Structure 1
Amino acid sequence: MQRIHRSCLALAAATTLVAATTVSAFAAPSGSGRTVLGDSVAPWATAAHRLGASATATTVDFRVYLGLHGDAASFATAVSTPGNPAYGHFLSGADFRARYSPTQGDVNAVTSWLKAQGFKVGHVPDNHRYVEAVGTVAQAASAFSTSFSDYSFAGATLRSNATPLSLPSSLPAVQAVVGLDESAALTQPQASPSAPPPDVFVNGRPCSDWWGQKTVQNTATPDGTTLPSTPSAFAPCGYAGAQLQGAYGLSGAIGSGTDGSGVTVAVVDAYASPTIVQDVETYSAKHGLPSLSGHFSQVVAPGTFTRPQNTRQDPQGWSGEETLDIEAVHTMAPGADIVYVGSPNNYQDMDAALNHVVDSHLADIVTNSYGFSSEALPRGYIKPMNDTLIQAAATGISVFFSSGDNGDETDGVAGATPTPDWPASSPWVTAVGGTSLGVSQSNGRVFELGWETGKSKLSNGAWTTPAYLYGSGGGTSRLFSQPAYQAGVVPSALSQRYGGAAMRVVPDVAAVGDPTTGMLVGQTQRFPDGHDAYSEYRIGGTSLSSPLYAGMFALAVQKAGHAFGLANPALYAARSATLDITKADLGSYPGAVRVDYVNGVDASNGYTYTARWFDRDDNLTIHVRPGYDDVTGLGSPTGQAWLDSLATYGG
């Protein structure tokens, strides 16, 4: 049993990826008075997966996205690039809407058409990016000139339109329609606000309070099992508080007042944990962090329609994700304000939640620990969110996304298609990869390696051959051209991996993500006897990396005294103050022994012992190397020097 983040669950990683140099508008006249939305069929909606026609009376809710006007991308690039005369001259939300958003006339035209087709019309955000609507499958098939079928894919039955969607050409530029197919069901887990706490998980013992405290040589196993001498260290129980602040060299800055004060960090997830406030307060008191009282708020993003629950989507999953994200941000930016933004009622609304954060300017920094484990998606899922990210950059908001937990998404299988994850692959976000981290007794950084874990089991007193388990997501995009900030930094062997023009490579930066060396988090959990109580456990994934890095970046924003917008130009410019993560320490720190309770709670059913080997990327296409690499990007923060460098480049 293990605890890992929930950012990137199953998606069609095996589907064919279509090469493109950029993601742009994809509507085209059909010659019949209608405009076809190209690439609007889900990649998994193939004849081989088809089960039959969808039930026509099924309720379907969706959003019709309208495109931005003008060249918002060029403006966002200029205001986010140090040295550009426009740098830092961000627009207010109102100014952005006036200059680039769809007009009220655009909204009225789409609304009238939807109503004429029999749909009920719901929420329209202030930036007019979409019109929410609900109706039946039969109405959607008629309105968009398509048919709907059910498909068997990834262990689920999913609905999709069978042919590209189309709309009357007389309508204003419709960018995409999101929600008619069920691609989102493959990606974001769902949790009910009334769901019970998640089942308890307890760290197996022995585990170390700091790196190397307990080893095979100085600590006996509780059941007398003899372990090989290598790796020698028992895994940490989970780092917390001053350990993580010290490992990244930020204890002094935080202690002297550069603690994120005056900066707001938003966490976007789904729903809301009913015990989050008491859990974070308990956690803070136990680990030397200040109270979050007066610095925390929760917002449910607006939406009109209540969607049915889908129990296969892990009902308790999001409460753990929210807890991890908030405790991680609070650890690295204990003075920052944190706003939690919950997606309304359903897993498919993450794009709307992010749009709400950005358009309402709820925060200076946004961290997101979710995503699709591929770029193989209908462009309707990509282009609208990409435009939301452009608005974020143009209005001075820095957006961070987890890069994923499945390496290059091949599982080390020869011939499988490598891919980075979306939205981490967008050039408008800072993609945060994962590392394996050793923290000393004095809270210093012993080592930091690329997170690509190989797992061995114990067999006849020896470790079996390591098999790839999980690791930092990364790779070369097939959708996005190389952004200017990566030019001259990312090796051409990576940016031109597939030939042709240079492309975007993921991730940009990194922080600890390996569950073997992860963070200790605390939340209310359900014990086997049915009682609920606060308990702590070690957790990892790039879902940890992103909020940790976002918290550290909050310190940089405070020190610089201004917002950065898209953080990447400044981060790449300040790369000399970033720790370049290589394989240099791998010989001295090959891995750790992990002890787990068989039942995940206590020793009553015995123990399991596994070796977790660091940086085992043997069968992957992504590798740690000197300089920029596609596992850890530029690397991780180096404390005060990193803060000073960002303040200099951002001035």
Structure 2
Amino acid sequence: MHCIPGVWKGALKRCRKLFPRCFGVAYFKRNKKMKSKASAAKAGEFAVPRISTLALALSLACIGMAAHAGTDTSNWVSTKTDAFLPRVQTHDSTGVAVTADKVAVDMAQGEEKSVTVALQLRNKAQLDSFVKELYTPGSSVYHKFLTPAQFAAQYSPTQAQVDAVTAHLSKAGFKNINVSSNRLLVSADGTAATVKQAFNTSLKRFTHEGRNVYANETAAQVPPELATIVGSVLGLQNAAIHHVTHSGLHSTQKSIVQAAAGTETSHTPVQYPGIYGAVSTPAASNAVVGTISEGDMTYTLNDFQTFLSNNPSLPKLTPTVVYVGSQSSDESGEVEWALDSQVIYGASGGVKQLIFYTASSMEDAPLTAAYNAAVTANVASVVNVSLGECEASAKSSGSQAADDAVFEQAVAQGITFSVASGDAGPYNCDTDSQGNPGVANTTTKKKTYDVSEPASSPYVTTVGGTALFTTSAGAYNGQAVWNEGTAQTGDGSAVRIWSTGGGFSKYETAPSWQTSSIVGTGHTTRGLPDLVFDAASASGTYIYITASNNGGTAAGVVGGTSMAAPMFAGFWSRLESAHGNNLGFPNSALYAAIPSNASLVFPVTSAAVDGDAIDYNGWSTTYPGMKANASGWSAATGFGSLNVDKLNAYITANPTVFPAK
């Protein structure tokens, strides 16, 4: 059969020798009864007799088995993509809780499956040192940001290393192999069989959280010569995916009441600059802002124009959409993308350009590719991410390591990623039957705290949420940690918490700017959030949305850290624009300046729910999660919220901390 690639012909011969029972009349055989050379030529190298579907399937399985039988994988090396299947908690057909490996079945070997191989950074120790010096006043490289070409030349994998990876993929049978411009991501199309051939792991299917999903049975492995090149293999599971982090009103939630004067009331995006002191700081007319999205952006773009029509003080703008990978028709995230874009634009006062970097799905590989597209384009100085997943899942799939490499390049180029800390308090890995986080059903779980990824990355600015209080005139009048208590999940299967994400990573080492004197002794991992802004539903924002066929009228009030993160992105773009887009990643400078300059932030004050003091993001006073501080940094509310005008003045007056334009 000439349609069988040459790489499989040897496998076919081995298969016929090793598994002769598979090759009776049921399979391809040389037709010795052909009456002429012409008929033989017409039939091809092998004649195809009538065979059953089962026989054909068995034969194809034999080919795959024989091909793999010739490869010695005994010395292959595990990547950062762990065995995902055994770590997924699901249920069997009777409803009994089991791990997924107990109920999963093999994925059909011919089922199409795309992967993204994330490669390791080169000269990583040197890059870490450079990034630290890049933001150290007085350093010879202080704020000398790299271009994508300079980064690739010094820290990306070499072309020879990439060639070795692509050769391995091609040999395994992958097609359509593509390499990102920074040589960090290699994508390819194949099947379950080629995944087994290339990475020595099987993919298995099962039902989880109402979806038909799959996951890899064992850790993804590669030959020893690729061990220092390949970091992780993305696309081997879709049991854990990212979720948006916005919040609506819930029928059973409690109102947060501040002890002092002031009320919790909703706002429009254009009111937030006045509330957070962005009055004298000019609009971000010289800055470009990106935001990560997914699916079809048609409704989002229409809603943005409706928003502009109803806010004539803002300059007109047509956002740009960059589809990363294939374009999806999914419209389920419309509320999120409308919230992100309208809050960014309202907080910024208008940017030079707003770019949607749009992924094809909420799975790990497409989102990592979207982050990477924003970084390699090197156009936006600020990029918003209102998404997250359980950090343990991201660690196990290998996406955390892949994302960190992309985000570190962003820091080296002077790009700031603003990432939402999540809306599930310290319970991002405890989910309901639909995969929504924030469920803590048992005493044990209530004491097991976790954070969200990519919020936990040390190369992003993580933004949590508060309940905002204003005066009758609309001026700032205090804020409390955002914790609206619990509400029943959408499917009615559990009760979840609606509260700001915050805590300490289990895997990311604390960055140099998070010293023990700031985050507390005994903490050696990344603490989050760094800052907070309004996120409570009751003090949230009105957005324009047409996806629900409401004619473009103002939707119900939307909150969540999905509102807080784009708010910071908008404010930071104002500061970037005012200072020549030369501020770069702000964390080290903020952690240096805020502790001794309290006026740079609006602190978090105490509040109460039904008379009980609320100063935590957890389930109750018995299981408080992370505590908020009235001053200084805390793992519930960071440093508080920026006072934009005062920070702008501080930047101008202190070029050794923040470089002037």
Q: Normalization by structure 1: what TM-score?
A: 0.76
Paired with 2:176 and 2:358, the residues of 1 have a C-alpha distance of: 19
Is 1:179–2:235 an aligned residue pair?
yes
Is 1:328–2:343 an aligned residue pair?
yes
DSSP-derived class of the 1:279 partner: helix
Picking from 298, 320, 329, the partner of 1:297 is: 320
Paired with 1:183 and 1:360, the residues of 2 have a C-alpha distance of: 30
The equivalent residue for 1:273 is 297
Q: CA deviation at 1:426?
A: 0.8
Q: CA deviation at 1:616?
A: 6.8
Greater length-normalized contact order (CA 8 Å, ≥ 6 residues apart): 1
Q: What amino acid sits opposite 1:260 in the alignment?
A: A
Q: Contact 1:189–1:347 at 8 Å: present in 2 too?
A: no
After superposition, the Cα gap between the structure-2 partners of 1:37 and 1:289, relative to the gap in structure 1 and judged at 3 Å, is same
The equivalent residue for 2:476 is 445
After superposition, give the CA deviation of every residue in 1:472-516 in whole Å (9 maximum; x if it has no partner): 1011111122211111443325x53xxxxx221111111111112
Q: What amino acid sits opposite 2:113 in the alignment?
A: V
Paired with 2:575 and 2:569, the residues of 1 have a C-alpha distance of: 10
The equivalent residue for 1:84 is 139
Q: CA deviation at 1:180?
A: 1.6
Correspondence list, 1:500-649, <5 A: 502-527=524-549, 532-575=551-594, 576=597, 577-579=599-601, 581-584=603-606, 586=607, 617=618, 618=621, 619-626=623-630, 627-647=632-652, 648=654, 649=657
DSSP-derived class of the 1:624 partner: coil
Q: Contact 1:454–1:615 at 8 Å: present in 2 too?
A: no
Paired with 1:189 and 1:241, the residues of 2 have a C-alpha distance of: 19
The equivalent residue for 1:125 is 180
After superposition, give the CA deviation of every residue in 1:499-535 in whole Å (9 maximum; x if it has no partner): xxx22111111111111211111121334xxx75443
DSSP-derived class of the 2:190 partner: strand
Q: CA deviation at 1:325?
A: 0.6
Correspondence list, 1:381-530, <5 A: 381-409=399-427, 411=439, 413-416=442-445, 417-454=448-485, 469-492=497-520, 496=523, 502-527=524-549
Q: Mean Cα displacement is larger for which, 480-489 or 335-344?
A: 335-344
Q: What amino acid sits opposite 1:516 in the alignment?
A: A
Q: Contact 2:487–2:497 at 8 Å: present in 1 too?
A: no
Q: CA deviation at 1:456?
A: 8.7
Q: Contact 1:72–1:391 at 8 Å: present in 2 too?
A: no
Is 1:252–2:280 an aligned residue pair?
yes
Number of equivalenced pairs: 537
Q: Contact 2:121–2:156 at 8 Å: present in 1 too?
A: yes
Q: What amino acid sits opposite 2:465 in the alignment?
A: G
Picking from 169, 178, 194, the partner of 1:139 is: 194
Q: Mean Cα displacement is larger for which, 506-515 or 117-126?
A: 117-126
After superposition, the Cα gap between the structure-2 partners of 1:338 and 1:368, relative to the gap in structure 1 and judged at 3 Å, is farther
After superposition, the Cα gap between the structure-2 partners of 1:262 and 1:580, relative to the gap in structure 1 and judged at 3 Å, is closer
Picking from 152, 160, 171, the partner of 1:116 is: 171
Q: CA deviation at 1:569?
A: 0.7
Q: Contact 1:93–1:359 at 8 Å: present in 2 too?
A: yes
DSSP-derived class of the 2:178 partner: coil
Paired with 2:449 and 2:475, the residues of 1 have a C-alpha distance of: 35
Q: CA deviation at 1:292?
A: 3.2
Paired with 1:351 and 1:180, the residues of 2 have a C-alpha distance of: 14
Picking from 631, 635, 658, the partner of 1:650 is: 658
After superposition, the Cα gap between the structure-2 partners of 1:288 and 1:375, relative to the gap in structure 1 and judged at 3 Å, is farther
After superposition, the Cα gap between the structure-2 partners of 1:491 and 1:347, relative to the gap in structure 1 and judged at 3 Å, is closer
Q: What amino acid sits opposite 2:300 in the alignment?
A: I
After superposition, the Cα gap between the structure-2 partners of 1:36 and 1:525, relative to the gap in structure 1 and judged at 3 Å, is closer
Q: Contact 1:188–1:371 at 8 Å: present in 2 too?
A: yes
Paired with 1:488 and 1:234, the residues of 2 have a C-alpha distance of: 36
Paired with 2:162 and 2:149, the residues of 1 have a C-alpha distance of: 17
Q: Contact 1:574–1:645 at 8 Å: present in 2 too?
A: no
Picking from 112, 137, 142, the partner of 1:59 is: 112
Picking from 258, 262, 277, the partner of 2:286 is: 262
After superposition, give the CA deviation of every residue in 1:182-208 in whole Å (9 maximum; x if it has no partner): 245x32479xxxxxxxxxx9999xxx9
Q: Contact 2:418–2:565 at 8 Å: present in 1 too?
A: yes
Q: What amino acid sits opposite 1:300 in the alignment?
A: Y
The equivalent residue for 2:87 is 44
Q: Contact 1:68–1:100 at 8 Å: present in 2 too?
A: yes
After superposition, give the CA deviation of every residue in 1:97-154 in whole Å (9 maximum; x if it has no partner): 1111112222222212211111113331111112111111122112212222224444
After superposition, the Cα gap between the structure-2 partners of 1:241 and 1:167, relative to the gap in structure 1 and judged at 3 Å, is closer
The equivalent residue for 1:355 is 372
Paired with 2:569 and 2:633, the residues of 1 have a C-alpha distance of: 20
Hey, which of these two has a bigger chunk of helix by percent? 2
Q: CA deviation at 1:83?
A: 4.3
After superposition, give the CA deviation of every residue in 1:213-261 in whole Å (9 maximum; x if it has no partner): xxxxxxxxxxxxxxxxx9999863x3114421111011232xxxx1112
DSSP-derived class of the 1:520 partner: coil
Q: CA deviation at 1:93?
A: 1.0
The equivalent residue for 1:35 is 77
Q: Contact 2:545–2:555 at 8 Å: present in 1 too?
A: yes
Q: Contact 2:270–2:347 at 8 Å: present in 1 too?
A: no
Q: CA deviation at 1:48?
A: 2.7
Paired with 1:591 and 1:546, the residues of 2 have a C-alpha distance of: 29
Q: What amino acid sits opposite 2:87 in the alignment?
A: W
Q: CA deviation at 1:283?
A: 1.6
Q: CA deviation at 1:319?
A: 1.8
Q: Contact 2:487–2:496 at 8 Å: present in 1 too?
A: no
Q: What amino acid sits opposite 2:369 in the alignment?
A: A
Paired with 1:479 and 1:345, the residues of 2 have a C-alpha distance of: 28
Q: Mean Cα displacement is larger for which, 276-285 or 70-79?
A: 276-285
Q: Contact 1:456–1:612 at 8 Å: present in 2 too?
A: no
After superposition, give the CA deviation of every residue in 1:577-596 in whole Å (9 maximum; x if it has no partner): 33353344x26xx589xxxx
* RMSD between aligned residues: 3.3
Q: What amino acid sits opposite 1:140 in the alignment?
A: V
Q: CA deviation at 1:34?
A: 2.3
The equivalent residue for 2:358 is 343
Picking from 310, 317, 320, the partner of 1:286 is: 310
Q: What amino acid sits opposite 2:167 in the alignment?
A: S
Paired with 1:231 and 1:95, the residues of 2 have a C-alpha distance of: 53
DSSP-derived class of the 2:468 partner: strand
Q: Mean Cα displacement is larger for which, 422-431 or 467-476?
A: 467-476
Q: CA deviation at 1:360?
A: 1.3
The equivalent residue for 1:167 is 222
The equivalent residue for 2:56 is none
DSSP-derived class of the 1:447 partner: strand
Q: Contact 2:232–2:398 at 8 Å: present in 1 too?
A: yes
After superposition, the Cα gap between the structure-2 partners of 1:503 and 1:509, relative to the gap in structure 1 and judged at 3 Å, is same
Q: CA deviation at 1:613?
A: 7.9
Paired with 1:419 and 1:622, the residues of 2 have a C-alpha distance of: 10
